[in-house]
Structure 1
Amino acid sequence: MGLTKGLLCNMLEISSTAGWISTSISVLLVTLVVVLRNWNWWSYAPSLQKGQAPLPPGDMGWAVVGHMLDFLRAFKSQEPDTFIGNMIKRWGRVPLYTTHLFGQPTALATTAESIKQVCMNGTVFKSGWPKATRTVLGRKSFSVLEGDEHRRLRRLTAQGLQGQEALKAYIPRVEELVKAKLTNWEALGQFKLVEKLQQFTFEVITYVFMSYPGGPQAQELLHDFELMVHGLRAMAINIPGFAYYKSLKARKEVLKKIQAILDERRATKTANHGDVLGSLLEMQDENGSHLTDEEIIDTMLVFLIAGHQSSTFSIMWAMIFLQRHPEALKACREEQLRIREARDPGEPLAYADFRSMNFLNDVIDETLRIVNVSPFVFRRVTETTQIEGFTVPKGWFVENWFRAVHTDPEVYPEPYAFKPERWKTFRPKAGQFSPFGLGNRSCIGIELAKMEMSIFLHLVILDYRWEPIHPNAPVRYLPHPQPVDGCLINFSRL
């Protein structure tokens, strides 16, 4: 009997100990979850003073990673707008949301007015790209620079890219490149449009900026360049196997090639090629100072990235949309035919021709609106401020989510429908249409990019037909929206 009682006591004691351990583990797990779920909030959300506007609704996700997994999950799906959509479901439709992205406490600006307030105020809101983007672009890139340095470099580089005279000089060469590529594509018959457009736009942009030759040299540079670009929107993890690590290695190779061109021009005292690089080498500010090699190279990188990526995917999607909408293609073809017939046979395109492509320009704008090759930009908050009734604390970042405005049904009825005719009467207000950014950091190569797209589409629309092999192919949204098959098409002359 005594033995039985002893065993029973031992069993109760063991059971009690096991229960205590189980309870302790549960408490520890719950505590760990609470800490991980609130760490970012505790670290970055300030205590607001009485009468101060509230922080934007939202949360900062898990410690360190924030909402990056939600962001990647949405953009790797077929519905990237679920990222913002889920916030709207939880907190209603408001101008800003609190989140944590790319390792930064962030307020998402999702309306035209909130985006305008951020982008037009260069005093409070400075360049705020994540570490990976800043490193890949370079510390002397005017996308990263601030204040007088930024204004000086932007003013000097704009001279070779803006205005009628600058654009006129590039039209003949761009037209020549387009005709050569289209003839080559016709002989191929079937190919991946993304791959061929990347080659074409890279040749155009490297020619315009530094008279770089085509052929094997350009393809070798393009290979390194593409690897470099993949690190722009990556987490800054510099470990073998990660995109950022590969991007930095590729950047070194790209820098070597551009530096070699600079050294050759200086050594041989080559005359100005009429390209942007020649202008950058000769430019002086009001104090007579020339740009440094680092400033020139980092400036070139920004233009190469912007010009190559935006043009490639904008042209591709314009071709896809036109093929899906025969009535728009017919209207475009009629407009381009009128422009061709107004010229003498064999006469090259003129600047006035580019400016008269009204419906084609509407097609391009509608494509830019739907596709959102650059869906957002970052700004860093230098002093606590108020936007649309919410407090945005100093040290936070604002991500201007252009995509949210471009697909807002209150701004664009039937936002996912391709309707170039909407631009005949619609005149967007500031913040409602920002495919090239807004304010003092908007892209200064807008006209050059649209001219390149217009010349290509003018020629391909007039003389060729294209049909996707997999018209319903799923779309991959990272790093840029494109069909997963690379837009495989059959291509032939009309």
Structure 2
Amino acid sequence: MPGSSAPAAIQTAQFLRSIDGFLERGRRRYGDVFSARILGFATGRIVFLADPEHVEQVFKTGPSVARAGDAARRSVEPVAGVSSLLSLDGPRHLDHRRILLPRFHGDRLELYTGVMREEVDAAVAAWPIDEPFAMREAMADLTLEVIMRAVFGLRHGRRYDEVRAALVAMMENDLAFNLALMVPVLRREIGPWKAWGDFQRVRAQAYSLLRTEIEERRAAPDLEQRTDILSMLIQGRAKDGTGLSDDELLDELMTLLVAGHETTATALAWTFELLHRHPAVKHQLVAELATGDEAYLGAVIDEVLRLRPVVPFVARVLHEPLQIGPHVLEPGVTVAPCVHLVHRREDIYPDPEAFRPERFLDTRPSTYEWIPFGGGTRRCLGASFAPLEMKVVIRRVLETARLEPASPEPERIRRRTVFFVPEHGARTIRRAAVT
């Protein structure tokens, strides 16, 4: 298997310093299939894939051979619990997915557009004028408000404020916490090392508040009439007629928070950062939105998710041998379809580093050539919800705010845990409206 022969510690340091650079160097040197040793990630023995045919093969491989839950469990369970959809495999994963997936597709999604519009209007009104602010932080605040109302079904008031404060504290993770996620031996308090203990305390507080909400929601006389996702999950049933327990509901709520908060906020921040740097694209987008046509808006979102995918790769742990091209991968290897590299293939996307939304107007890449939401039975639940939220937010922001970049220099990619984020948070300035 082609790949670096450097010690695992050195490869891990290179990977953590610059994931995108690590991946791009690997493909240049070794081709579309290459190995790496990365301490603290899944099994540590990683094979990255950059060919859509190999990606398709992995996404179509069943859980008896390749398990996504095994790859995610180490970092997911401390945050989202043992019943998180992200860390489950096999029949239990399918049962949970059958309950959750219908709540994020079809006509149900339109129920949440009103909440999204209300929250984006309130957010924009609170942004400073003529002062730089980090768009990513602003979008994180906004997407959290949407989750609180549309997903958790909480209404503004004391409990809303308590839950929100606990969730914000839980997600304010520093370097020490991120190291502890990768290195389990650090999941303890050691002298001044308090990050893990602090996290456990705020997580317990958030779970306690949400547990009380679930208990009261189950007994609510208007449960069947409520349209928030928590209320519908309480009523959801697997094939055998069983529903989710309170513990399972708690873990899945936290999963939806983890998977739908930072990811969408980051994608939105990248959208405005790229629009800042490409005024012709922004001008065309504003003009077409004024006519009521959202085709170009959809193309802009697709191109943002191609050029700046929030998650650079997905992972599966092999439990049986799997042949990829001429290579037979052994059980215990973590195979990683690489979103970042597939989206930069020049044979699929000419001039791949350019931001050109029109490439999505006339033709569509195949299922395995555009994979920001993964694929197969593990495709992200938010693959419809997130683009809808992005459409509502982008349209309303462009309609109600005059924005410009705070710096003339484009922001580079920076790693935040496993996400690709703008280096400085997509620093933006809001100007006063012209009257």
Q: Please tell me whether the aligned partners of residues 57 and 98 of structure 1 are also in contact (alpha carbons under 8 angstroms).
A: no
1:204 to 146, 167, 183: 146
Take 1:217 and 1:270, find their aligned partners in 2: how far apart are those partners? 23
Query: How much has 1:225 moved relative to structure 2?
Result: 3.5
Q: Please tell me whether the aligned partners of residues 148 and 164 of structure 2 are also in contact (alpha carbons under 8 angstroms).
A: no
Q: Please tell me whether the aligned partners of residues 96 and 110 of structure 1 are also in contact (alpha carbons under 8 angstroms).
A: no
Say yes or no: does 1:95 pair with 2:33: yes
Say yes or no: does 1:86 pair with 2:28: no
Say yes or no: does 1:179 pair with 2:128: no
Q: How does 1:232-243 map to 2 (within 5 A)?
A: 234-236=182-184, 237-240=186-189, 241=193
Take 1:210 and 1:299, find their aligned partners in 2: how far apart are those partners? 11
SS of corresponding position for 2:351: coil
Take 1:372 and 1:322, find their aligned partners in 2: how far apart are those partners? 16
1:376 to 301, 313, 334: 313
Query: How much has 1:471 moved relative to structure 2?
Result: 3.3
SS of corresponding position for 1:306: helix
1:266 to 200, 213, 218: 218
1:477 to 408, 415, 419: 415
Q: Please tell me whether the aligned partners of residues 58 and 99 of structure 1 are also in contact (alpha carbons under 8 angstroms).
A: no
Q: Supply the RMSD in Å over aligned alpha carbons.
A: 2.6
Say yes or no: does 1:392 pair with 2:329: yes
Identity of aligned pairs, percent?
Answer: 26
SS of corresponding position for 2:88: coil
- 1:41-84 deviation digits (Å, cap 9, x = unpaired): xxxxxxxxxxxxxxx21256436x47211101224xxxx3x212
Say yes or no: does 1:70 pair with 2:14: yes
Take 1:397 and 1:60, find their aligned partners in 2: how far apart are those partners? 17
Q: Give the TM-score of the pair, scaled to structure 2.
A: 0.87
SS of corresponding position for 1:287: coil
SS of corresponding position for 1:122: coil
SS of corresponding position for 1:410: coil
Q: Which moved more, 1:237-246 or 1:131-140?
A: 237-246
Q: Residue 108 of structure 1 corresponds to which residue in structure 2? A: 48
1:304 to 248, 251, 257: 257
Q: How does 1:394-433 map to 2 (within 5 A)?
A: 394-433=331-370
Q: Residue 217 of structure 1 corresponds to which residue in structure 2? A: 162
Q: How does 1:353-368 map to 2 (within 5 A)?
A: 357-368=294-305
Q: Residue 388 of structure 2 corresponds to which residue in structure 1? A: 451
- 1:453-492 deviation digits (Å, cap 9, x = unpaired): 1011111112321112223265332233344443332213
Q: Please tell me whether the aligned partners of residues 469 and 489 of structure 1 are also in contact (alpha carbons under 8 angstroms).
A: yes
Take 2:167 and 2:405, find their aligned partners in 1: how far apart are those partners? 25
Q: Which moved more, 1:208-217 or 1:363-372?
A: 208-217
Query: How much has 1:306 moved relative to structure 2?
Result: 1.8
2:268 to 315, 327, 343: 315
Q: Please tell me whether the aligned partners of residues 160 and 276 of structure 1 are also in contact (alpha carbons under 8 angstroms).
A: yes
Take 1:242 and 1:116, find their aligned partners in 2: how far apart are those partners? 43
CA pair 429-99 structure 1, distance change in 2 beyond 3 A: farther
Say yes or no: does 1:132 pair with 2:75: yes
SS of corresponding position for 2:402: strand
CA pair 253-61 structure 1, distance change in 2 beyond 3 A: farther
Letter in structure 1 aligned against 2:429: N
Letter in structure 2 aligned against 1:486: G
Letter in structure 1 aligned against 2:26: M
Q: Residue 89 of structure 2 corresponds to which residue in structure 1? A: 146
Q: Please tell me whether the aligned partners of residues 259 and 297 of structure 1 are also in contact (alpha carbons under 8 angstroms).
A: yes
Q: Please tell me whether the aligned partners of residues 332 and 359 of structure 1 are also in contact (alpha carbons under 8 angstroms).
A: yes
Q: Please tell me whether the aligned partners of residues 84 and 255 of structure 2 are also in contact (alpha carbons under 8 angstroms).
A: yes
SS of corresponding position for 1:477: strand
CA pair 157-69 structure 1, distance change in 2 beyond 3 A: same
User: Gapped runs of 5+ residues in structure 2?
Assistant: none
1:489 to 425, 428, 433: 428
Q: Please tell me whether the aligned partners of residues 61 and 100 of structure 1 are also in contact (alpha carbons under 8 angstroms).
A: no
Q: Please tell me whether the aligned partners of residues 202 and 308 of structure 1 are also in contact (alpha carbons under 8 angstroms).
A: yes
CA pair 486-338 structure 1, distance change in 2 beyond 3 A: same
SS of corresponding position for 1:430: coil
CA pair 292-218 structure 1, distance change in 2 beyond 3 A: closer
